[in-house]
Amino acid sequence: MITVTFYTKNGGIGGFEATGHSGLDESGKDIVCAAVSSALYMAVNTITEVLLIIAEITVNDDGFTKLNL
């Protein structure tokens, strides 16, 4: 199961953490995990590259992504 937790900071969103796999198919063939990963990368890149907000980012191959503003 994919779990996303949003963190608040000063009354707004201060970051998020995503963990897990959907389990629809094996790693590397799972289209649900690919879609979620794509959405996470888009959010991270929009925050850091378009809005130019400095963020602490952690990503690994285990289905873990964390962004902290």
Local confidence pLDDT in tens for the 69 residues of the chain: 999 999 999 999 999 999 999 999 988 899 999 999 999 999 999 999 999 999 999 999 888 999 999
Q: Which residues of 19-35 are buried (b: 16+ CB within 10 A; e: fewer)?
A: eebeeeeeeeebeebee
DSSP type of residue 51: S
Distance separating alpha carbons of residues 5 and 28, to the nearest angstrom: 24
pTM here is 0.84
What pLDDT is recorded for position 56?
97
